[in-house]
Amino acid sequence: MANTIELQESESEKVEVKIGDKTIKLPVHTGTYQEKGIDISKLRAQSGYITLDVGFKNTGSTQSTITFIDGEQGILQHRGYPIEELAGKASFEEVIYLLLHDDLPNEAQLSELKARLEQYARPEAGVRDILNALPDDTHPMGMMCVLLSSLSGFYPHLMDSWSDQAKREEAMYRLLGQMPALVAYIYRRKAGLPYIDPRPELGYVANFLNMMFGEAKEEIVEALDTLLILHADHEQNCSASTVRFVGSSHVNLFAAISAGNAALWGPLHGGANQKVLEMLEAIKADGGDTSKYIAKAKDKSDPFRLMGFGHRVYKNYAPRAKVIKKYTDKVLDMLNMDDPILDIAKGLEQAALQDEYFVARKLFPNVDFYSGIIYRALGIPVEMFTVMFALGRLPGWIAQWQEMRQNGEPIGRPRQIYTGHSTRKYVPLNER
Ligand code: SDX
């Protein structure tokens, strides 16, 4: 009979794994909100067994103090502060500080952060040359990957981005300081418009909007500031885990962030916000019949998915989606805009949330479902949506990288279960 494995809670902080006649005790880690994690780091040495969890749906990669998500309750907190509080009261600069330093800044700390961001707000001249050299059809996220990696060439003295505190901070603030310009330059390059020089004295978000559109209306600054907060971090999502994994080889910070940006590009991750708008536009062009698209999403033979719906962790209405949905109405009212796409989105959401397929699978709108409608209302083109996500997520990626290095975590190198050929002899070419 195959080995039977029983997990029994034998002591408060250990579980027992019985494999055949062997009993192994494994430590249990308990999180702030009593989440439990079985520490299997000694499992293979003690049993010869590894675990298998494709996609890491049940496996923790680290212990983190940055962000807490309770998917069942629909809770999201950064360093203990609920996202609903931060999105309504904090500025994006305050949230950048919070993610990097474990608490909200006081006046002096916020001023110092702003000064560092201003100090490094101007990209090197070569950045525009690189952008101009890229093919016109390069996707904005492809351009961002190139620019982020190129920073390792502009700042060779920051290749070891960790061991020296001053260099570590310089690498972090050079990224955070010039990211608004990198995003705006990509927009101007794709639109065939002249670049607008940074004016960091305007403030982080106002400077970004000024580089994008040559102006920064206060109501749009406020709307974008909130959107960036809602994208700032999300614990061990695909792109943050990529930054931690790539960073665990001790490569420079620019390369690790560029890798995270590549992960975010995927349509199942950050790329979904662009796909949501394209899906809503297709539904509109198709007469606005949401039921046809609900049916397509449910049809296993159809690769179509309801973009902006579903989440690996949230099995309840996502807190960010709630805030963004409210904000969409507010921004459109503020801009005196009436976007039929919003009505289609709301109709699609209502239909899906009443449909057994989505209810049974606990599929709710995620952060990407409504964000694109606001970006578009702010004048940002659809193909720039995921780069906007990267602008918001950058502080989270850096905070996750910083924590991984602070923890002294080893290089990431998972095991596998091999299911290929067993040993066999080489066959000479003329005998095959
Ligand atoms: C982000 O991880 C994060 O935190 C990410 C993020 C962040 O801030 O960093 O929150 C940002 O990436 C949000 C997600 C954006 N992606 C999308 O909107 C793309 C559409 N959604 C999915 O493809 C999907 O829901 C995922 C990728 C988000 C989650 O996929 P999982 O957890 O791997 O779930 P799954 O693919 O195993 O789906 C479970 C079931 C399956 O059906 P059954 O096989 O059980 O019959 O739900 C179905 C899926 O087919 N399903 C969907 C669906 N999402 C899941 N069916 C139709 N439409 C969908 N959108």
pLDDT in tens, the chain (432 residues): 445 555 555 446 899 999 888 899 999 999 999 999 999 999 999 999 999 999 999 999 999 999 999 999 999 999 999 999 999 899 999 999 999 998 999 999 999 999 999 999 999 999 999 999 999 999 999 999 999 999 999 999 999 989 899 999 999 999 999 999 999 999 999 999 999 999 999 999 999 999 999 999 998 999 999 999 999 999 999 999 999 999 999 999 999 999 999 999 999 999 999 999 999 999 999 998 899 999 999 999 999 999 999 999 998 889 999 999 988 888 888 888 888 888 999 999 999 999 999 999 999 999 899 999 999 998 899 999 999 999 999 999 999 999 999 999 999 999 999 999 999 999 999 999
Residue nearest to atom 51 of ligand 1 (CA): 310
Backbone angles phi, psi at 402, to 5 degrees: -60, -45
Instruction: Report which protein residue has its CA nearest ligand 1's atom 14.
Output: 269
Give the burial class of 411: count Cβ atoms within 10 A of its Cβ; 0-12 exposed, 13-18 middle, 19 or more buried: exposed
Our mutation pick for probing the ligand 1 site, out of 309, 316, 353, counting the most ligand atoms within 8 A of Cβ, is 309
Question: Going by CA atoms, what residue is nearest to atom 30 of ligand 1?
Answer: 312
pTM for this structure?
0.94
Residues in contact with ligand 1 (CB, 6 Å cut-off): 234, 237-238, 268-270, 272, 297, 305-312, 361, 363, 366-368
Which is the catalytic residue, given 78, 233, 269, 368? 368
Of 311, 329, 339, 355, catalytic:
311
Angle 276-282-286 (CA atoms, 0-180°, nearest 5)?
Answer: 145
Dist CA 147 CA 130 (whole Å): 8
CB 233 within 8 A of CB 166: no
Distance, in Å, from the CA atom of 130 to the CA atom of 146, rounded to the nearest integer, reads 8
DSSP state of 156: G
368 is annotated as an active-site residue: yes
For residue 72, with 0-12 CB atoms within 10 Å meaning exposed, 13-18 middle and 19 or more buried, which class applies?
exposed
Cα 310 to middle of ligand 1, angstroms: 4
Q: How far apart are CA 404 and CA 103, in angstroms?
A: 18
> Which atom of ligand 1 is found nearest the CA of 311?
28
- Nearest ligand 1 atom to alpha carbon 310: 25
Tell which one of 69, 311, 315, 400 to mutate to probe ligand 1, the residue whose CB is within 8 A of the most ligand atoms: 311
- Report CA(2)–ligand 1 centroid distance (Å): 34
Q: Is 286 helix (H, G, I), strand (E, B) or coil?
A: coil
The structure tokens 């209306």 sit at 217
Nearest CA to 185 out of 233, 234, 129, 118 is that of 129
CA of 72 to the centre of ligand 1 (A): 15
Q: What's the 413 CA to ligand 1 centre distance in angstroms?
A: 26
> To which residue do tokens 């990957």 refer?
145
- Closest C-alpha among 300, 299, 320 to residue 308: 320
Residue that is written with structure tokens 């212990």 in the block? 63
Give the closest residue (by CA) to ligand 1 atom 35: 312
Calculate how far, in angstroms, residue 274's C-alpha sits from the geometric centre of ligand 1: 15
- Which amino acid, residue 214? G
Separation CA 250–CA 256 (nearest Å): 9
Residue 269 known to be catalytic? no
Q: Do the Cβ atoms of 281 and 341 come closer than 8 Å?
A: yes
Name 69's bridge partners. 76
Query: Which run of H or of E encompasses 19?
Result: strand 14-19
* Nearest atom in ligand 1 to 276's CA: 18
Q: How far is the CA of 60 from the centre of ligand 1 (A)?
A: 19
SS3 73: coil
How many residues appear in the chain?
432
